[in-house]
């Protein structure tokens, strides 16, 4: 794909009725890609947990806690700048490419030089070489940022998804091969390097664009400032999301961090699998769509309700099967992760609701308010972590859950204040799903306790049986209570209709369905379905 025409102008702007078709198709492709990524991730977890020790996972996590922040510089910033810009040309994008590349080189050199500092901070000399090796991922990622952003702007989501799937597969294969050969923590390092290397090669093959030499172009400084603002918010958010890794690794040891990190990865898996895949679809669509404040409010409440339906169901179920799920996925020796994951469980559903505040901030153009709220979030989360640190990784997990329960309503109120959204519609959209999850969870526990001989045993087959039976029981009870509280099956039909539309990409014009998609950077995205309405 060559994104620019002979005059240097971006020549792949989708228009008119084809825009929504591309958006819905992109959402479906992205979800399919994420399903594949989920399978690949599960394979990696199951195999590597049996070939690599928890201490090895923890050792690499000590370094990636910092390297991933620097790797994300261009990905979270320049990508949004390119997607949201009304008009772009080759000269402007070339400038962004070289700026991003030189920043990537500087960050790579700086991080490699910090290896000795990390080794002293954690008290482990092995971190020096691991830091030097993983610093290469920063440079590799920076080379592909602009090309991937151009593919997304052209709504070539199939190409982006295929590239991502291939990169993930190569990464997992590389890690397993090195681990099988006895590579230990170096197997995880090899996989971490293979991921951006493969993604970069694929991005350049799919987007056949060669940047020009840098020159003065109007708009470059404005786009750089926008990118830095977005990355600044991401940086603070990332710091709050990874302060736990730093504290656990520093206060305890690599093995404790390995146990904690695996539980945390499963904790954030629902948001990564359900909300993140279509973020690029959302921002590409909104940048070309007219915004009606009344429609926005109506659709936001609808999308929030769908998010609550799915999130509360998944959160309640995972809380009940946490220990057996860890036993099945990771095998013997990981029981500590199971106890930690149980404390994460009650926060999964409310986390999916909380992440929707990004929809409001970006879709009304108030990234500045989102940045300020992220500072508040970081302060609250850090205080809870420090208070919970004496109780070890289990205390940190409980602090995470508490932080989402504390911040959700204030965060959504603050985000919606510029458009007078109010908190009452938010509460009305989610409380029935929350109540249904709590009621179904209690009833399921009562049933399980009434059957003390229910699949007794510690083997994988027994764990799988308990997971299946518990999930079925909870799912039936949860849907039943949802229908009872809503006095009908409308929420379920809404969710199924949305899935049907994303899977059935091609529709006739008479069967038009209107979708409003809203997005938070690195966060949550949900689509709301409603009847098509012509402009008035």
CB 3 within 8 A of CB 87: no
Q: Using 50, 70 and 90 to split pLDDT, how confident is the model at 504?
A: low
* Predicted local confidence at residue 195, as pLDDT: 95
Q: Poorest-confidence range of 56-70, 211-225, 326-340, 455-469? A: 455-469
Q: Is residue 492 part of a domain?
A: no
Q: Using 50, 70 and 90 to split pLDDT, how confident is the model at 330?
A: confident
**524: helix, strand or coil:** coil
Higher per-residue confidence, 155 vs 408: 408
* Predicted local confidence at residue 307, as pLDDT: 82
* Predicted local confidence at residue 77, as pLDDT: 78
> What is the pLDDT averaged over residues 23-36?
66
Percent of the chain's residues with pLDDT above 70: 81
For 309-327, the pLDDT digits (tens) are: 988 999 999 999 988 888 8
- Is it the case that residue 517 has pLDDT exceeding 50? no
Full domain range(s) for residue 198? 52-244
* Predicted local confidence at residue 178, as pLDDT: 94
Higher per-residue confidence, 407 vs 238: 407
CB 188 within 8 A of CB 243: no
Q: Is residue 374 part of a domain?
A: no
* Burial class of residue 174 in the structure, from the number of CB atoms within 10 Å of its CB (0-12 exposed, 13-18 middle, 19+ buried): buried
Q: Is residue 171 part of a domain?
A: yes
* Predicted local confidence at residue 535, as pLDDT: 32
Q: Using 50, 70 and 90 to split pLDDT, how confident is the model at 364?
A: confident
Q: Is residue 474 part of a domain?
A: no
- Is it the case that residue 484 has pLDDT exceeding 50? yes
Q: Is residue 277 part of a domain?
A: no
Q: Poorest-confidence range of 55-59, 438-442, 526-530? A: 526-530
H/E segment holding residue 309? helix 293-330
Return the closest-CA partner of residue 370 out of 351, 389, 356: 356
CB 445 within 8 A of CB 412: no
Q: Using 50, 70 and 90 to split pLDDT, how confident is the model at 172?
A: very high
E strand spans, 44-158? none
CA dist 325 and 503 (Å) reads 29
Look at the alpha carbons of 73, 76, 78, 79 in this order and tell me if their dihedral is positive or negative: positive
Return the closest-CA partner of residue 358 out of 117, 522, 502, 191: 522
* Predicted local confidence at residue 411, as pLDDT: 94
Number of domains in the chain: 1
State if pTM tops 0.85. Answer: no
For 372-387, the pLDDT digits (tens) are: 898 899 999 999 999 9
Return the closest-CA partner of residue 359 out of 525, 522, 233: 525
* Predicted local confidence at residue 20, as pLDDT: 52
Q: Is residue 253 part of a domain?
A: no
Q: Is residue 408 part of a domain?
A: no
* Predicted local confidence at residue 376, as pLDDT: 92
Contacts 24+ apart (CB under 8 A), 170-174: 170/194, 170/195, 170/198, 171/195, 171/198, 172/40, 172/41, 172/43, 172/44
Q: Is residue 435 part of a domain?
A: no
């Amino acid at each position: 794909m060559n994104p620019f025409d002979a005059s240097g102008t971006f020549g792949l702007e989708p228009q008119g009725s084809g825009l929504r078709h591309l958006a819905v198709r992109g959402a479906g492709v992205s979800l399919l890609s994420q399903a594949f990524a989920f399978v690949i991730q599960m394979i990696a977890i199951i195999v590597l947990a049996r070939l690599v020790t928890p201490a090895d996972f923890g050792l690499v996590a000590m370094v990636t806690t910092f390297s991933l922040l620097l790797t994300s510089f261009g990905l979270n910033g320049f990508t949004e700048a390119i997607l949201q810009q009304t008009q772009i040309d080759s000269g402007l994008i070339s400038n962004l490419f070289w700026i991003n590349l030189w920043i990537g080189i500087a960050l790579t050199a700086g991080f490699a030089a910090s290896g000795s500092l990390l080794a002293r901070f954690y008290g482990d000399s092995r971190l020096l070489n691991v830091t030097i090796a993983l610093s290469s991922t920063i440079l590799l990622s920076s080379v592909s940022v602009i090309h991937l952003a151009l593919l997304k702007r052209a709504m070539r989501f199939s190409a982006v998804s295929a590239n991502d799937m291939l990169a993930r597969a190569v990464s997992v294969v590389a890690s397993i091969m090195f681990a099988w050969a006895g590579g230990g923590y170096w197997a995880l390092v090899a996989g971490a390097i293979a991921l951006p290397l493969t993604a970069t090669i694929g991005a350049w093959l799919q987007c056949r664009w060669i940047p020009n030499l840098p020159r003065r172009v109007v708009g470059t400084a404005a786009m750089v400032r926008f990118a830095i603002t977005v990355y600044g918010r991401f940086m603070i958010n990332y710091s709050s999301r990874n302060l736990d890794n730093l504290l656990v690794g520093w206060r305890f040891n690599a093995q404790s961090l390995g146990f904690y990190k695996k539980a945390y990865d499963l904790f954030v898996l629902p948001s990564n699998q359900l909300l993140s895949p279509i973020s690029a679809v959302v921002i590409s669509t909104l940048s070309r769509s007219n915004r009606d404040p009344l429609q926005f409010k109506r659709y936001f409440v609808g999308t929030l309700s769908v998010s609550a339906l799915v999130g509360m169901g998944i959160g309640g179920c995972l809380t009940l099967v946490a220990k057996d799920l860890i036993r099945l996925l990771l095998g013997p020796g990981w029981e500590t992760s199971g106890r930690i994951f149980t404390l994460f469980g009650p926060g999964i559903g409310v986390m999916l609701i909380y992440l929707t505040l990004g929809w409001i901030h970006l879709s009304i153009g108030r990234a500045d308010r989102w940045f300020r709220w992220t500072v508040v979030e970081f302060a609250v989360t850090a205080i809870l972590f420090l208070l919970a640190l004496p109780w070890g990784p289990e205390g940190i997990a409980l602090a995470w859950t508490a932080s989402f329960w504390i911040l959700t309503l204030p965060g959504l109120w603050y985000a919606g204040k510029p458009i007078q959204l109010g908190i009452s519609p938010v509460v009305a959209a989610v409380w029935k799903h929350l109540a249904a999850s709590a009621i179904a969870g209690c009833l399921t526990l009562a049933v399980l306790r009434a059957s003390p001989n229910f699949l007794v045993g510690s083997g994988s087959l027994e764990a799988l049986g308990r997971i299946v039976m518990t999930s079925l029981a909870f799912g039936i009870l949860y849907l039943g209570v949802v229908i009872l509280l809503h006095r009908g099956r409308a929420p379920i039909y809404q969710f199924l209709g949305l899935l049907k539309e994303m899977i059935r990409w091609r529709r006739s014009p008479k069967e038009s369905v209107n979708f409003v998609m809203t997005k938070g950077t690195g966060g949550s995205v949900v689509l709301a379905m409603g009847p098509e309405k012509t402009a008035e």
